[in-house]
């Protein structure tokens, strides 16, 4: 860590992600001198390569705009680079390096052959028109297309990149590459190579994982009160599945505040989340305006201030602090499954773990998204598409297997499970073994 800090000063998210993994694997790493000899850790913590490029486009007023674009190809030991694209004003190389690093372990956990990558831009979608989004995506792909390919690197969505953006990106890729296969991006529309259930997959997978975790702890999700941060694609799928499983979603939140829904969200409210995302307004208050009497907006408050059993962070890294964790506990919360990538700050995770609150990390909980991207790649390669039932069954199996891997590597002497340790060791062992077996490259 000291070496990395000296080499990459100020890259706080990246250093935080690496620190968490190294702490978890220390013991097992020291039992494997062959890893040490091949300098596996030193090699694994640095990305294979990073592409950085300028993206220039023209806004609706005719003004020239310039952004930075990136693709971080982190690790390809177990398969082609795979991971999403994030469009957000705060995107930096540090953020994408942390995400690419996490993705490498997450993808290893899915049991599918996918390496880790992440990309994106500091382009801010908030307040942009559809035409501006399209022009930006086209300009972004003008640079990115040389770096990717169905057997090299397969991007997908992440924060700020959903089905609409993947459509614009794919259209431009085909135009530039003059290749009309369907395998270079995942999260495509259902009529042009996309997998059924991909939009729902991250949220659905997270709830399947939560079910297994609760089951192991002798509990059940039915009738439990759930609070969720965010109202993007991931939160949307999580709300949908939580409702299907009989839980009551009593709050969703956004950057402007929280919407409290005392009687639980309805299917209509869940559908409206899609309009909220498509509007690019980034305001959760819109839910309370649309459903007066059912949802109550409180400005400046987080979802963590609402009494609940289960908390599901579904928005952004470090969105849940130690103080939030204490507030959750005081409000009766006894389980937190992290759905966003690194959604909880280290202090929050330690507080949960030291206070008997069930906790599982994003790289295990949210892996259903990229796993279903892997299933989309399989369908594309075979030139066919599976039914919703087939995709859902496989997603469920994968989430069960991820839970089993966490239990295998994370069970403590008292029989409880350290899901952070379990997920990190399981992912690490797979990537480290693959690197070792393929020599010093
Ligand atoms: N961005 C998602 C993640 O964090 C999905 C990546 C993908 O489907 O490639 O895992």
Catalytic residue among 106, 118, 241, 302: 118
* Residue among 278, 239, 31, 247 nearest 133 (CA): 278
Range(s) of the domain holding residue 173: 32-185
Q: Would you call 89 helix, strand, or coil by DSSP? A: coil
Q: Is the pTM of this model over 0.95?
A: yes
Q: For strands 153-156 and 225-229, give the pairing.
A: unpaired
Q: Residue 140 sits in a domain of what CATH number?
A: 3.40.50.10860
What is the total count of domains within the chain? 2
Residue of 202, 205, 314, 398 with the most ligand 1 atoms within 8 Å of its CB, for mutation = 202
Q: Residue 329 sits in a domain of what CATH number?
A: 3.40.50.720
Residue of 84, 197, 203, 237 with the most ligand 1 atoms within 8 Å of its CB, for mutation = 84
Which residue, 310, 333, 360, sits at the end of a domain? 360
311 in Cβ contact with 303 (< 8 Å): yes
Per-residue 3-state assignment (H helix, E strand, C coil) for 270-313: HHHHHHHHHCCCCCCHHHHHHCCCCCEEEECCCHHHCCCCEEEC
Based on the fold, state whether residues 290 and 318 are members of the same structural domain: yes
Specify the pLDDT at position 286: 98
Q: How many angstroms separate the CA atoms of 209 and 219, rounded? A: 13
| Atom from ligand 1 closest to the CA of residue 159 | 1
Residue 164: C-alpha distances to residues 200, 233, 310 (Å) = 15, 12, 31
Residue 415 lies in a domain: no
* Cβ count within 10 A of residue 220: 13
Which residue, 342, 360, 378, sits at the end of a domain? 360
Residue 292 lies in a domain: yes
Based on the fold, state whether residues 337 and 294 are members of the same structural domain: yes
CB-based pocket (< 6 A), ligand 1: 82-84, 103, 106, 156, 158, 186, 341, 366, 369-370, 373
Over its length of 441 residues, how does the chain's per-residue pLDDT go in tens digits? 999 999 999 999 999 999 999 999 999 999 999 999 999 999 999 999 999 999 999 999 999 999 999 999 999 999 999 999 999 999 999 999 999 999 999 999 999 999 999 999 999 999 999 999 999 999 999 999 999 999 999 999 999 999 999 999 999 999 999 999 899 999 999 999 999 999 999 999 999 999 999 999 999 999 999 999 999 999 999 999 999 999 999 999 999 999 999 999 999 999 999 999 999 999 999 999 999 999 999 999 999 999 999 999 999 999 999 999 999 999 999 999 999 999 999 999 999 999 999 999 999 999 999 999 999 999 999 999 999 999 999 999 999 999 999 999 999 999 999 999 999 999 999 999 999 999 999
- For the record, the structure tokens of 238 come out as 């999580």
Specify the pLDDT at position 427: 98
Based on the fold, state whether residues 38 and 175 are members of the same structural domain: yes
Q: Please say if 118 is a catalytic residue.
A: yes
CB-based contacts of 164, cutoff 8 Å, min separation 6: 130, 133, 278
Q: For strands 49-58 and 153-156, give the pairing.
A: unpaired
* Residue among 127, 106, 126 nearest 117 (CA): 106
Q: For strands 64-75 and 116-121, give the pairing.
A: antiparallel
Based on the fold, state whether residues 143 and 223 are members of the same structural domain: no
CA of 114 to the centre of ligand 1 (A): 11
* Residue among 93, 86, 8 nearest 49 (CA): 93
Which residue, 330, 360, 390, sits at the end of a domain? 360
- For the record, the structure tokens of 126 come out as 């908030």
Q: How many angstroms separate the CA atoms of 372 and 369, rounded? A: 5
């Amino acid at each position: 860590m000291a070496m990395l800090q000296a080499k990459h000063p100020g890259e706080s998210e990246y250093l935080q992600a690496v620190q968490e993994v190294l702490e978890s694997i220390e013991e097992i790493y020291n039992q494997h001198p062959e890893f040490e000899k091949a300098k596996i850790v030193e090699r694994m913590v640095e990305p294979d390569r990073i592409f950085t490029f300028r993206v220039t486009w023209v806004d609706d007023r005719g003004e020239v705009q310039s952004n930075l674009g990136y693709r971080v190809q982190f690790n390809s030991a177990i398969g082609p680079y795979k991971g999403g694209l994030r469009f957000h004003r705060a995107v930096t190389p540090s953020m994408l390096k942390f995400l690419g690093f996490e993705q490498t372990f997450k993808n290893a956990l899915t049991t599918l052959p996918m390496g880790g990558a992440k990309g994106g831009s500091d382009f801010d979608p908030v307040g942009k028109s559809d035409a501006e989004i399209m022009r930006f995506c086209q300009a972004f792909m003008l640079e990115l297309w040389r770096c990717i390919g169905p057997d090299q690197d397969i991007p997908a969505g992440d924060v700020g990149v959903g089905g609409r953006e993947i459509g614009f990106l794919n259209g431009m890729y085909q135009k530039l590459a003059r290749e009309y296969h369907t395998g270079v991006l995942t999260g495509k529309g259902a009529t042009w190579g996309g997998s059924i259930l991909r939009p729902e997959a991250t949220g659905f997978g997270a709830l399947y994982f939560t079910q297994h975790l609760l089951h192991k702890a002798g509990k059940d999700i039915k009738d439990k009160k759930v609070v969720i941060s965010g109202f993007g694609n991931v939160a949307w799928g999580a709300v949908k599945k939580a409702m299907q499983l009989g839980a009551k979603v009593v709050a969703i939140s956004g950057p402007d505040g929280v919407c409290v829904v005392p009687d639980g969200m309805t299917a209509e409210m869940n559908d409206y989340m899609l309009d909220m995302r498509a509007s690019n307004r980034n305001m959760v208050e819109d839910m309370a305006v649309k459903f007066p009497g059912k949802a109550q907006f409180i400005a400046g408050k987080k979802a963590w201030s609402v009494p609940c059993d289960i908390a599901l962070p579904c928005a952004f890294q470090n969105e849940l602090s130690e103080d939030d964790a204490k507030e959750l506990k005081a409000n009766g919360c006894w389980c937190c499954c992290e759905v966003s990538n690194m959604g909880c700050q280290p202090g929050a995770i330690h507080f949960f773990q030291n206070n008997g609150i069930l906790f599982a990390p994003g790289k295990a909980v949210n892996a259903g998204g990229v796993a279903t991207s892997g299933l989309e790649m399989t369908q594309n390669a075979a030139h066919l598409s599976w039914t919703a039932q087939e995709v859902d069954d496989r997603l469920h199996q994968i989430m069960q297997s991820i839970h089993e891997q966490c239990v295998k590597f994370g069970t403590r002497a008292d029989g409880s499970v350290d899901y952070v340790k379990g997920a990190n060791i399981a992912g690490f062992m797979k990537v480290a073994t693959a690197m070792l077996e393929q020599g010093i490259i």
